[in-house]
Structure 1
Amino acid sequence: MQPRDTIAAVATPPGRGGVGIIRISGPRCADVANAVAGKLPKPRHAHFCSFSDADGSTIDEGICLYFPAPNSFTGEDVLELQGHGGPLILDLMLQRVLATGIRAARPGEFSERAFLNGKLDLAQAEAIADLIDAETTSAARLASRTLQGVFSERIHKLVEGLINLRLYVESAIDFPEEEIDFLSDGKVSTNLQSIIDELVAVQKSAHTGRLMRDGMTLVIAGRPNAGKSSLLNALAERDSAIVTEIPGTTRDLLREQIQIDGMPIHIIDTAGMRESTDPVEQEGIRRARNEIDQADRILWVFDDKDDPNHLTLDRESLPEQVPLTLIRNKIDLSGTSPALVDDEGLTEISIAAKSSLGIDLLKDHLKQAMGYTGSVEGEFIARRRHLNALANAMNLLYQGKRMLEETAAGELLAEDLRLAQQSLNEITGEFTADDLLGRIFSTFCIGK
């Protein structure tokens, strides 16, 4: 794909800096170079020149770089004009470039053209935006690995396995005289299970990558005066929330962002849950309920001396779909030691938030709950749409496996394999609707 129009944008961040870059891509790069820089420089050689206005006056001085197609980021002719980084001078330069008859680039259009011209797949293109937006070292490293193709290689391996299995199954359907028995030879079942096992591993890595990109939303909830704000302060390692002995001190939501071994966590402290006639407190409780419903995990805080029946009632009021960790607080008052107890998948951690006793246990639990290993080896950044595509492919493979085992229906298995392959191809963009591409690239920076 080679768009006929030529585009331009400022490729450096807004604000003042030593260097500002105008990036141009498309077939008219040579015209722009001749008009603004006086000549088209030798490919991949830095050419120092004056950047001229239409009347011949000098706007700025700097370096001109030319990258002819197809050996450029976008796969098209690319020209970069590198001058000084003041906002005014960059605006003058951009207006001069646009005056030659080209248009301003849309957000993400350079990356979109790189994708459409086969220079990047869709997962790699998204990784550019993720690398720019990364807020932690770990997220930046994982985004870089995705940009290098680590995620795409895992997807291509899965797709290759599906293609080979489809060929075998569909050949047996098309040539029944070969009398291939799907169940007796075991080849289909073995290969299908191998693909499922690999997909499980990719899903696990993608889940960690999504958490590293987006962070985990952790809602601290519980009855009034249970020590929720003290827990927020302990996790944030600073006095973020006001702590008093008066029940109901926290009326509104308090938000903090922390990192645990480079993993971003968004913590929300909420108003104490109880029946109240105070309209302000009622609004705080309503907001708390909304955040609980949208959380990645709930930390339900209760006093070490609370009535166990209250805890049972409290748990019944929480949404079943949101993972829950029980926090038994104020153990310092009873002389109890910090502990972590896992009972049939429900974890209870005993701490003293005010003195940070047992907080390390909680942090380790959160890392384990999110599947974080502390290593980026073999990992990559991922987005929610990637997780959805992987989950859809997994459902189709399990469905195909069930059809194979229950009915030996080769046609149904072949269709499920085809749809699973299509779902995986959506990740790299080999099968992607145009409207999805538009939404993805519209979130990019202008000039990228």
Structure 2
Amino acid sequence: MAERPPTTPRPDSGPYSETIAAIATASGRAGIGVIRLSGYGLLGFARALSGKEPLARQATLSNFHAADGCLIDSGLLLYFPAPHSFTGEDVLELQGHGGAVVLQMLLARCLDLGARLAEPGEFTHRAYLNGKLDLAQAEAVVDLIDAATTTAARSAIRSLQGEFSNAVNVLLEQLIELRALVEATLDFPEEEVDFLEAADAFGRLERLQQSLAKVFDRAQQGRLLQGGLHVVLVGQPNVGKSSLLNRLAGDELAIVTAIAGTTRDVVRSTLQIEGIPLHVIDTAGLHASEDEIEKIGMERTWREVERADVVVLMADARGGVGEAEQAILAQIPAHLKRITVFNKIDLAGQSAGFQEESDGPVLSLSAKSGEGVELLRQQLLRIAGWHPAEDVFIARERHLRALADARDHVSAALAHLPRLELFAEELRLAQTALASITGKFGADDLLGEIFGRFCIGK
């Protein structure tokens, strides 16, 4: 016999005593649209909307009515009683037709019944606060939605399923165990030497360092999948920047002519190399000019360079790196990774090639024929630090910073042995850094920043 949904008590007060509602599907014309509600005591909403009391976790065919009894739509009614739902609260979903007007009518009816419009990310925020997800898993929800490649999507689902959190929790358990031993020993200073030997403190920390390095590497790969690599093509006019963009993209995105200065604005394209999103930006040629439009284009070029991960300086293979190219190199920030590309080897009678020099890789290729372009793709991956792996999980910049902080504190702890007070403090700081990843310790402003980037309805 089907389960009869229980009546879930509503909290007495606070923001999470309110029922929230939102359109959970993307805007626009579609076959199906979903209204999602979360709160407590949602059976009353179900009865008011459909005249029915749905069974738990079963689709119920229903008509949805306005306050005056007029039919708004017909579709499916689904009810997930707390705590067995995405948010940990009662969740009600109305699955109807995907027209924008009918969805707004249904949403307005829910609001009239006492729900309020959900804030961006509030459903996932409630899932986090109710212990259904930790913070890293909650962030993986939006990463899965935003995934630009199949590799990124697979990594995001691994993080959503808890692989990243489990790896962090293993590190935390090792830290906590060691901290407990240290704190206990601090009460008996005469036994410090015995503790260091018996507890194998040095060996434990070395193993922890190795584990941290492995997790950091996996997270670093995931950060590439999540954000991709921003590559800016720079050089004088007519060296083939637009041709190279078109060759990499496999499409005629930028206008290519024999006339110098054809590109006067920024042209962008996102493509994939082995699952890594590559954001390639073609820019206006850099040269002395009194033309107002060209000056604006060159200003935009330098703004893109400031935001780049990698700068590709292009030069004509027939002329090499001259004074103009040297002047461009002098203005590129020293910390930026760079690749020098000699284009038009087909006109220079040269072959594709690669060599590593002190200031970065140097490649020879033909954007027109495609010869040597694969060398550039592989060098971009190498510079990014990518190496294919099946166990990568999506990570963000804040995760990398937290892991790096924990790594630094563990290294400092090793340096402080056998001074146990300083040793213990560094372990505490390492634990705090790691715990911020999953949200065991986290500031309210951090939570607001994270969930504020979600879409409404999620």
In the alignment, what sits opposite 1:335?
Answer: 349
Deviation at 1:46, TM superposition (A): 2.1
Deviation at 1:306, TM superposition (A): 3.2
State how far apart, in whole Å, the 1-side matches of 2:370 and 2:149 are.
24
State how far apart, in whole Å, the 2-side matches of 1:221 and 1:22 are.
48
The answer to whether the Cα contact below 8 Å between 2:72 and 2:106 also exists between their aligned partners in 1 is: yes
In the alignment, what sits opposite 1:42?
Answer: 55
State how far apart, in whole Å, the 2-side matches of 1:151 and 1:160 are.
14
In the alignment, what sits opposite 1:369?
Answer: 383
Q: Which amino acid aligns with 1:81?
A: L
State how far apart, in whole Å, the 1-side matches of 2:153 and 2:428 are.
34
Deviates more, 1:304-313 or 1:430-439: 304-313
Residues 288 and 187 of structure 1: is their aligned pair in 2 closer, same or farther, counting only changes over 3 Å? Answer: same
In the alignment, what sits opposite 2:139?
Answer: 126
Residues 317 and 52 of structure 1: is their aligned pair in 2 closer, same or farther, counting only changes over 3 Å? Answer: closer
Number of residue pairs aligned between Structure 1 and Structure 2: 444
- 1:106-121, aligned counterparts within 5 Å? 106-121=119-134
State how far apart, in whole Å, the 2-side matches of 1:433 and 1:331 are.
56
State how far apart, in whole Å, the 2-side matches of 1:56 and 1:283 are.
60
Residues 182 and 325 of structure 1: is their aligned pair in 2 closer, same or farther, counting only changes over 3 Å? Answer: farther
State how far apart, in whole Å, the 2-side matches of 1:283 and 1:61 are.
55
In the alignment, what sits opposite 1:8?
Answer: 21
In the alignment, what sits opposite 2:330?
Answer: 316
In the alignment, what sits opposite 2:435?
Answer: 425
Deviation at 1:309, TM superposition (A): 5.9
State how far apart, in whole Å, the 2-side matches of 1:179 and 1:300 are.
58
How many percent of aligned residue pairs carry the same amino acid? 49
- How high is the TM-score relative to the length of structure 1? 0.92
Work out whether 1:356 is the aligned partner of 2:370.
Answer: yes
In the alignment, what sits opposite 1:284?
Answer: 297
In the alignment, what sits opposite 2:5?
Answer: none
Which consecutive unaligned segments of at least 5 residues does structure 1 have? none
Deviates more, 1:145-154 or 1:386-395: 386-395
Residues 115 and 334 of structure 1: is their aligned pair in 2 closer, same or farther, counting only changes over 3 Å? Answer: same
SS of residue matched to 2:456: coil
The answer to whether the Cα contact below 8 Å between 1:172 and 1:180 also exists between their aligned partners in 2 is: no
Work out whether 1:55 is the aligned partner of 2:68.
Answer: yes
Deviation at 1:339, TM superposition (A): 1.5
- How high is the TM-score relative to the length of structure 2? 0.90
Deviation at 1:322, TM superposition (A): 0.9
In the alignment, what sits opposite 1:443?
Answer: 453
The answer to whether the Cα contact below 8 Å between 1:301 and 1:327 also exists between their aligned partners in 2 is: yes
In the alignment, which of 199, 216, 219 is matched to residue 206 of structure 1? 219
State how far apart, in whole Å, the 2-side matches of 1:316 and 1:189 are.
47
State how far apart, in whole Å, the 2-side matches of 1:398 and 1:326 are.
37
In the alignment, what sits opposite 1:403?
Answer: 416
State how far apart, in whole Å, the 1-side matches of 2:241 and 2:74 are.
59
In the alignment, which of 169, 190, 193 is matched to residue 180 of structure 1? 193
Deviation at 1:182, TM superposition (A): 7.4
- 1:244-283, aligned counterparts within 5 Å? 244-283=257-296
Q: Which amino acid aligns with 2:361?
A: T
Query: After superposition, what is the alpha-carbon deviation per residue over 1:398-430, rounded to whole angstroms, capped at 9, x for unaligned?
Result: 3333333xxx32222221221121111111111
In the alignment, which of 62, 65, 82 is matched to residue 69 of structure 1? 82
In the alignment, what sits opposite 1:221?
Answer: 234
State how far apart, in whole Å, the 2-side matches of 1:247 and 1:195 are.
57
Deviation at 1:439, TM superposition (A): 1.7
Residues 165 and 344 of structure 1: is their aligned pair in 2 closer, same or farther, counting only changes over 3 Å? Answer: farther
Residues 58 and 309 of structure 1: is their aligned pair in 2 closer, same or farther, counting only changes over 3 Å? Answer: closer
The answer to whether the Cα contact below 8 Å between 1:139 and 1:212 also exists between their aligned partners in 2 is: yes
The answer to whether the Cα contact below 8 Å between 1:390 and 1:423 also exists between their aligned partners in 2 is: yes
The answer to whether the Cα contact below 8 Å between 2:137 and 2:160 also exists between their aligned partners in 1 is: yes
Deviates more, 1:415-424 or 1:356-365: 415-424
Work out whether 1:163 is the aligned partner of 2:173.
Answer: no
SS of residue matched to 2:256: coil
State how far apart, in whole Å, the 1-side matches of 2:271 and 2:211 are.
33
